[in-house]
Structure 1
Amino acid sequence: MNRLLSRPRSLLAAVAMSAAFSLSAQAAVQSVEVDRIIAVVNNEVITALQLRERVDQMTRQLQRQGTQLPPADVLERQLLERLIVERAQLQLARETSLRIDDATLERAIGRIAENNKMSPDQLRAALDRDGISWSRFRNEIRTEILLTRLREREVDAKIVVTDAEVDNFLTANPDAFSGEEFQVAHILLRAPEGATPEQINRLRQRAESVMARLRAGEDFARVAADSSDAPDGISGGNLGWRSRDRLPALFADAVRNMSPGEVSPPMRSAAGVHLVKLVAKRGGGAAAAQKLEQTRARHILIKTSEVLSDAEAETRLRGLRERVVTGGADFGELAKANSADLSAAKGGDLGWVNPGDTVPEFERAMNALKPGEVSAPVRSPFGWHLIQVMERRQQDVTDERKRTAARNILRERKADEAYEDWLRQLRDSTYVEYRLERE
């Protein structure tokens, strides 16, 4: 009898447990935030959870900095726009086969750990304590590197500075290397590509409204956070300490006769309307740096083509590197036989290279080497390189060094302005459908 009753009791218990589990599961499902699409960028979507993660991250950052938070809807709107522009750039990178391999990522993480005086394992533990997963951290660093490489390829590598521009800069800025520094904050009210007179008029009215708030005593950082269209607007628009020659030309001219705490009138540029605040200034009258580090380097360049892929060029250079590092082959002879650069006849010797003389990818890899070391294959807009540093020296500053420094300043200014313009064009050409309406 007991055996006959045992089966029904077991079934009853199973049904009860199943019902309890079902109710528990339903409660769990109800407690989970339902994700939804809030924007479509070309053929990809941005979800509410992705925006929420970015908002939470920015909120923590601003709180650590002691910056007053903008209204929640303003912060949400600005970060959504930043996500849209970021997604458009990542799509372009993917369409043009720009990738960041694991070896590059690991080297970058290693440098981050080293800069924080940690081992990679200690960095990972610190991130865990802050509630940041290792996979998320790696993805963010990979994205940051990818966006940097995209800018270098699409903008920086195309910047040209002429000798006439250098001459004009040195004539117009005799105090360019005086050592005086300025702490500047700014607000950008961005103009659309090909703005109409009506749009420009509305932009000026918006600028006057922002100026009225500032004249009434509102904090500049707070106004920048909820008004500026620049990426740094959320954090108050602060550019940090810079010498005047390293400010955008429009800003440099504005701060020349400004006093700390003063805000410029609205200023028009191709990007839109700017308001600049001189927060503080320091230094001045100091002698310019007396030394400039130069690197003597040589390289082997292999260019890709329809018959030679990136992977094949990289593999070929790895083989050449192996012959130099472990086989004792002469780098110069290999350059003569394999390099597609004009320097091949000289064994790849580039002579003494100043900072800023080469494209960023090449310079970054070169600067990481010690004399005698050979780099891993390096990708640049010109192809694939194998780099060897021969020696370094400190060179006294001369007129030519000042010209080099001026050229670098002008290149940086042009690159910043060109990048802003490029981002605006990319954004204007991107299909975006907003679905942020509240339910």
Structure 2
Amino acid sequence: MKQLYVLLCAAIIGFTSVTASAQELDRVAVIVNDGVVLESEVQQMLRQVKQNAQRENMSLPADEVLRVQAIDRLVLRELQLQMAQRMGIEVSDAQLQATLTSIAQDSGVTIDQMREQIASDGMSWDNYRESVRREMITGQVQRNAVQQRVYVSPQEINNLTKMISEMSEQEVEYRLSHILIGVRDGASSAETQEARERAEQVLERLRNGADFAEAAITTSSGNTALEGGDLGWMNINAMPTLFAEVVRDKRKGELVGPLKSGVGFHILKVADTRGIESVEIEEVNARHILIQPSIILSDKRAEEMLQDYRQQIISGEATFADLAREHSADPGSAADGGNLGWNEPNIFADAFRRVVETAPVGEISEPFKSEFGWHIVEVLDRRTQDATERSQQNRAYQLLFSRKYQEELENWQQEIRDQAYIEQVGE
């Protein structure tokens, strides 16, 4: 049944109405509220499903069963199109063309090649375009109706994030280097304190750049001292519990310790890792001055004003912050001297993003135009942030949302069927 559903969906995408010149007078197959599903639509979908099944070498149920499924799909489409009309949802030619271009790109072909492929399948390009437009419209109707019914709680996200992390953890391995500052059995508290202090001194030297392997050879009483303290590769489950508790989620190069055990004080270094999902993002700290053209302020004059402000800042006649507070048309940042704070560049409009991604730190950009007006920008700093946890939470949210969305979509579709007037018309 799932395969049949896929074929029916494909048939809707490839659906082409038959012209009156090529067909006898059409008839109504199903009345749906104040609309209809025509017999020609049913027959065309059945033909398309069979073509798709033959191409995929799939078997199909009897025609009677197939017809029921096709009618159900067409009725549902008609109901959603009726809702779209009431809601005023439309898809412009420009939006449609962008989607068709995206479909072609995803298939690795040009628009012209896709047109040829559609024609070779016996479909009209104009009718294919309109079928895609209908799919875009019904998709928007579904999103409008269903998204508001889906709620994913923070606790659900945290629970799934933890589960994903634990599953991934089984595949993560750490290569540890180890130094043991030993304490003899039965040592006095003074001897134990002395060992702790020596361990802290060694750790301090390591933090200041001392070579770990050399320090292990000269100071460690561990079994792998002569190998530079190398413990080799192991996952969390294979290493001592004392180590596992502190090594989990550490990154390459991090030092841990001193850790006290019955034999002394341990210092660990994560020499390397493998299997860890790591996501890093680049952030930029920038400030800007925005001038918005108007009926009385031309584009040229706005650009000239910003060029003048730029020269004042460079010459030291004025500060960026003072000019932003006095002249910037961005109320959100003007009060703070034009500061936008730390952000990922992709949150900005394209023209602005391109500048903040490439501008040297500390330099004032030339005036440039975005959809909001004219700007000058100074990039104050850049940094790389670890976004692994955020990435895992986003993944968990998307998984939960997708599952709940599909459940609610099916519920909603059944509801609109139940509430509609649907009558099949006999031959």
Query: Normalised by the size of structure 1, how large is the TM-score?
Result: 0.47
